[in-house]
Amino acid sequence: MCVKIIELIGTSKKSFEDAIQECITRTSKNVRGITGVDVLGQTAVVENNKVTEFRVNIKVAFKVED
């Protein structure tokens, strides 16, 4: 088996978890066989003392098809 890894940045107005899920949902439209996610980092945008956007930097692993 061979696995490929790509690095992505996801965003959400709701939460870090939602940002990760959004990335996986969008990526799965073009990539089959996703096997795992490694969260490299999390950041947030703050405006007027409130978090307005959650951002995640992730690595997504998927099987390379024969």
The answer to whether 21 touches 37, Cβ cutoff 8 Å, is no
Predicted TM-score of the model (pTM): 0.88
In SS3 terms, 4-62 reads as EEEEEEEEECCCHHHHHHHHHHHHCCCCCCEEEEEEEEEEEEEECCEEEEEEEEEEEEE
What is the spatial order of strands in the sheet that 34-47 belongs to?
3-12, 50-63, 34-47
Q: How many domains does the chain have?
A: 1
Domain residues for the domain of 35 are 3-63
pLDDT tens per residue across span 10-23 = 999 999 999 999 99
Question: Coil, strand, or helix at residue 1?
Answer: coil
Instruction: Label residue 65 by pLDDT band (50, 70, 90).
Output: confident
- CATH, residue 43: 3.30.1660.10
